Amino acid sequence: MTDNSNLPPEHEAKVSDSSHQIRIKEPAPSEKQQNDLKPKNKQKSTPKQVVVDDHLLSIPQLCEKYNTSISRESIDKSEALSNTRAVELLQKYGKNILTPPKTKTSFRIFLDCLLSLFNIMLILAGVLQFVLLAIDFKNNKSSIYIGIILIFVSFLNATIEFVQIQSSRKILQSFMNMIPQKCNVIREGALSEIEASTLVPGDLVFMRLGDKVPADIYIVQSSELQVDNSSLTGESEPQERGPENIQTNPLEATNLVFNGTNCVSGKGYGIVIRTGDSTVLGQIAGLTSSADDRPSPLSLEINRFVKIISTVAILSAIIFFIVGQVINNDIAFSINFAIGMFAAWIPEGLPATVTMLLTFAAKRLSKRNVLVKDLKGVDTLGAITMLATDKTGTLTKNQMTVTYVWTNGNLYSASTTSDKNAEPITDTSIFGVSDCIQASALCSSVKFDKTDIPVAKRNIIGDATEAGLTRFAATRLDDYDNYLVDHAKVFEVPFNSTNKWMLTINKVQHETGIHKLLIKGAPERILRLCSSIMYNNTVEPLSDAEKAKFTESYEYMASKGHRVIAVAKSDLPADKYPEGYVFDKKQQNYPMGDYTFVGLVSLEDPPKHGVREAVGRLRTAGIQVIMVTGDHPLTAEAIGRKINLILGETKSEVAKRTGRPIESIGEDEYDAVVIHGEELATMTDEDWDQIFHKPE
């Protein structure tokens, strides 16, 4: 057990969520020693108390508590939980999901549809017809039919809307079941991808840049791991996480990551300590009630119209009641007169017409695989004038394939192509090409779900760019797996959005030592870190001539719509970096510049089938489409032209065609706009207005 004698008194951290608060208690020693895993579905009082004290335990104590086994020396070879034990824990603690908010009953949904302002007016008008009948049955027999019709129309409107909502709910639920969140977990010594809902306390989870944290997790090993806690604690800056911790407040503990937060940098391994409703996010969710749906613009307009009509109808009824009294001084006549005027203002056919038109539109959309959750949302969809969409995986297939390699001053083709400017790679030992292959294989953070099948058939766990580089290297190495073992990675700085590069140091024998530094990333960033280049079959100082050749090749690859990655290296001398040398990121006891530029590798991510046609239809409908991507502007422009997103000339193209400076090109001389990410921060409102008025 843990010695808690030096722990401070009980602490409390509060997380504000709207008007609710959740308390996270740190228990006193005697309370802590008795703490154990909480079974599922346990009722808690309000405010809810979450006992979070695992951050105070050491890693061996944590493993003992959760009955799991890890290897600190080689974390990815850890045994962790067995599949049998995981099944037992899943049955005991339930699925790793948050209890969904209480859904409305079918009757309540129908009642909401029936009690809209328009339907209330119709029902009121119908009831008043029966009031007329009661006042003067003989002269108001027609009120029977009018009253029945008005009330029937209100129920018909509600029924049509109710049926559409119920149908959409069923389809939406089936969609949610089809797209479960995935995570990477080690069980019985093997890394596999599973549904996050099947995670249990004690599981060893692998997380990396871009992953969503699937549960509350204690970090046991990390490399540059940072998480975005803004949704939980409001901290705007990414928070670094690792095994070390000196904080007693669990929300400030540097060895914990919480369910629902996002990994924004690096990678790490951690042990699951809480799942489902027991997580901090689950506790907050339990304290908050589901927010009401925001009404659609059409709903707001209809309600506004109903309020105006109601006001006018009531005022008319009052005025004509007074007029009737002045003329006839007959109370029955005046009431009859007033109710008649009130009913005359009610547009009985409008609600049915609107509902039927929206229903027909929803049916047509369903045939085009568009799910309409709310009938009035059809009008909102029809009012769209601009659509901003991601590129990778949305407009493109997210299946990267290496196409070109530029190294040693030459352009090589890595795939079948008719490009006369590129030579095919016929020999992997070509000066520079072999280094690009080596960097693609070793400077990587990909994982495999299986290693007993050929690399080409394996499921690669990693982003599409690294997967493409891995397949490129694996098909050109005699034994990819043994190559990784023989050139083991001893240090790594993962990719992050700030640096835009990834660095590894591997055991690679060379003339001056046994360690080789490899770095890959954004070409302009990598070039700044280099002082020499592999050129003309030798390594020579990086001059303006080579930089110009680099820019020419970079732009040539990018202009074809390819993502371009740069590769550099540094042979670390043995006298400074001997066997067993411990590299440390905080101390930066490794070279941070003076690298040798190896070359450029381009990857193609082909557009999805049907995207060009979809963009064309949107354009015909008057909807402006904007593509959002982190690629080079030339790459973005080339992809845009492939999918017909860009048809006209850009500002730079007009300048090139006319031979004029780009600053002299007027706004009316070009149609298409391509904006570099660095320009966004300096753009004014006037700049945005000019952009949005461009057709492309």
Q: Which residues are catalytic?
A: 390
Token pair belonging to 171: 């389809």
Identity at 4, one-letter amino acid code: N
For the chain, first and last CA: distance in Å?
65
Whole-angstrom distance, CA of residue 413 vs CA of residue 261:
41
Q: Look at residues 85, 28, 89 and name the one whose alpha carbon lies nearest to residue 278.
A: 89
Q: What six digits make up the tokens of 252?
A: 């400030």
The span from the CA of 557 to the CA of 404, in Å, is 8
Beta bridge partners of 257: 217
Do 493 and 502 meet the contact criterion of CB atoms below 8 Å apart?
A: yes
Q: Element (H or E) spanning 436, and its range?
A: helix 433-442
Spatial CA neighbour of 402 closest among 441, 430, 450: 441
SS3 316: helix
CA dist., res. 656 & res. 654, Å (int): 5
The pair phi, psi for residue 284, each rounded to 5°, is: -65, -45
Cα distances (angstroms) measured from residue 182 to each of 174, 192, 193, 319: 17, 10, 6, 66
Q: How many other CB atoms are found less than 10 A from the CB of residue 446?
A: 16
E strand intervals along 374-425: 386-390, 401-407, 410-413, 423-424
Quickly list DSSP for 86-136. HHHHHHHH--S-PPPPPPPPHHHHHHHHHTSHHHHHHHHHHHHHHHHHHH-
Residues facing residue 407 across a β-bridge: 410, 599
How far is Cα of residue 312 from the mean position of the Cα atoms in its chain? Answer: 49
Report cis status (omega within 30 of 0) of the bond before 100.
Answer: no
- Residue 206 CB partners (closer than 8 Å, separation 6+): 76, 184, 185, 186, 191, 267, 268, 269, 447
Length of the chain: 696
Run of H or E residues at 285: helix 280-287
Q: Rounded to whole angstroms, what are the CA distances from 50 to 23, 40, 279, 449?
A: 7, 14, 8, 35
**What span, in angstroms and rounded, lies between the C-alpha atoms of 351 and 359?**
12
Buried b (16+ CB within 10 A) or exposed e, 294-306: eebebbeebeeeb
Q: Quick count: other Cβ atoms within 10 Å of Cβ 331?
A: 12
